[in-house]
Each structure stands twice: as C-alpha cells, then as structure tokens.
Structure 1
Amino acid sequence: MMKYVHTKEAPAAIGPYSQGIVVNNLFFSSGQIPLTADGVMLTGNVKEQTHQVFANLKAVLKEAGATLETVVKATVFIKNMDDFTEVNEVYGEYFSTHKPARSCVEVARLPKDALVEIEVVALVK
C-alpha cells in the first residue's frame, strides 16, 4: 500500500515531490522548511523558523494518520551549527517525553535560504 499525502494545512511541495508518502504503516515526510501554509517564507530567527517547521510537520503527520508521538526518526538540517542550541531547545518542546532517533547536520544552503529544515519518519496508527 502506498499513499501520497497532501494537506492545505502545510505548504505545497515546491517541486516534483509530495509532502510525504505512506508505505504500509510508515510515513516518510519531505523536508519541511519554515514556509507558512500559504507558501510565504517566515524570515524570523531560527527559533521562530523551527516552530513553523513543526507546525508544518504536525499538519502532514495528521494528514498521514500519524502524530509527533509516533515519529521514530527525525533528520534536522541547519544552516549554521552555532544555532544547534536554539534549534534543540525548540525541538525539545515538541519531543519532551517521546524522544525519536535523530540526526542533525549543518548544510551549506537550504531551499529559500531557510535556517532549518526537518524531515521525519513515523508510524501510522
């Protein structure tokens, strides 16, 4: 079973990909950057951008039949590793008791010059 995920509660894909895909009982999200649901780039600081990324993740997870509590793996891409503490602080607000596996890497550049991008893999209930 394979199902493409699309919700108007998160920004539309800006290329030839989907917001996410469910395969059997696993959901794989595309990377979420701090675009609002109507496609406007949030240009705030890294904490504000990270909160927007989580709003987007929650929307695509909900559409897929998953939640932050069913996330098994997160990959965090940040423009500057000096922002790690601030990103981690916001991340901890969303994953406080449930702690999925995670990778965090610094990258040279992100789409639309975002400061942070996060993708997740989650179990679908």
Structure 2
Amino acid sequence: MKEVIKTDLAPQAIGPYSQGRISGGYLFCSGQIPINPATGEVVDGGIEAQAKQVMENLKQILLAAEMNFDDVLKTTVFITDMGNFAAVNKIYGSYFTDKLPARSCVAVASLPKGVLVEIELIACKHA
C-alpha cells in the first residue's frame, strides 16, 4: 500500500510532489526548506533559524506518518555554504538521540527560494 502523507503543520508542496509517501513501511520525505507553515514565508534569522525550521518541518511530517526521529534511517542535507556545516550539524544533532541515521551532506550552488539549507529523509516505523 502506498500512502500520501500530508499535514498543514509543515509547508505545503511548492511543486508537483508530496510532503511524503509511505510504501512498505518506509517513509520517503521530500526535502524540506525553512518555510514557516503558518505564514508560507522563508524564516529570517540566518542559518541557525533556517536549520531549526527545516527540522521542525521534518518533525511534523514524521508525526503525520506516526513516526519520530528515532525511526529515521537516512538523511541528506543540502547546504549552500560548507562554512555553515557546524551550525547546521549542531541543530540537526539536537533532534536525534542515540539512534543516529546515516547521512550525506552536499554543498549546492543554490536552493529553492534562496534558502541556505534543505534536508530530506527516509524513515521506517519498525527499523
């Protein structure tokens, strides 16, 4: 069974994609950027504020799928400046306990809406 995950507590898709999809017990979450779901606007405050908003958006999608950060198997972090790696890493790490997922981090030339960070994930309820 393939289920679409959708919540108003995370930003709505800005293109032809879903916030997340579940198949075979796995959640495939689309990359989240630092959009405040209440306003639809990119958050101000630099890399720390943006990283926190991204993680909060991911948290809401996980909750909508009846999962949490302990269920995350793999993340991919996209940042526009590797100089921001330590700041993103600190905030990212605060959302995980001892069940750390596999992760890739990639520097990119740009991201949608000019944001500084985007993160996608794969989770499994019974991992």
**What TM-score comes out, normalization by structure 1 length?**
0.96
**Cα deviation 1:77-119 (Å, max 9, x = unaligned):** 0010110011111111112422100000000000101100000
How is 1:51-90 mapped onto 2 (pairs within 5 angstroms)? 51-90=52-91
What SS class does the counterpart of residue 21 from structure 1 fall into? strand
Moved more, 95-104 or 2-11: 95-104
Q: Identity percentage over the alignment? A: 47
Q: Distance in 1 between matches of 2:22 and 2:125?
A: 8
Q: 1:12 — aligned with what?
A: 12
Paired AA for residue 121 in structure 2: V
What SS class does the counterpart of residue 30 from structure 1 fall into? strand
Q: 2:35 — aligned with what?
A: 35
Q: Distance in 2 between matches of 1:124 and 1:109?
A: 32
**What TM-score comes out, normalization by structure 2 length?**
0.95
Paired AA for residue 3 in structure 1: E
Tell me how large the CA RMSD over aligned residues is. 1.0
Structure 1: stretches of 5+ with no match in the other structure: none
Q: Distance in 2 between matches of 1:2 and 1:33?
A: 24
Moved over 6 A (4+): none
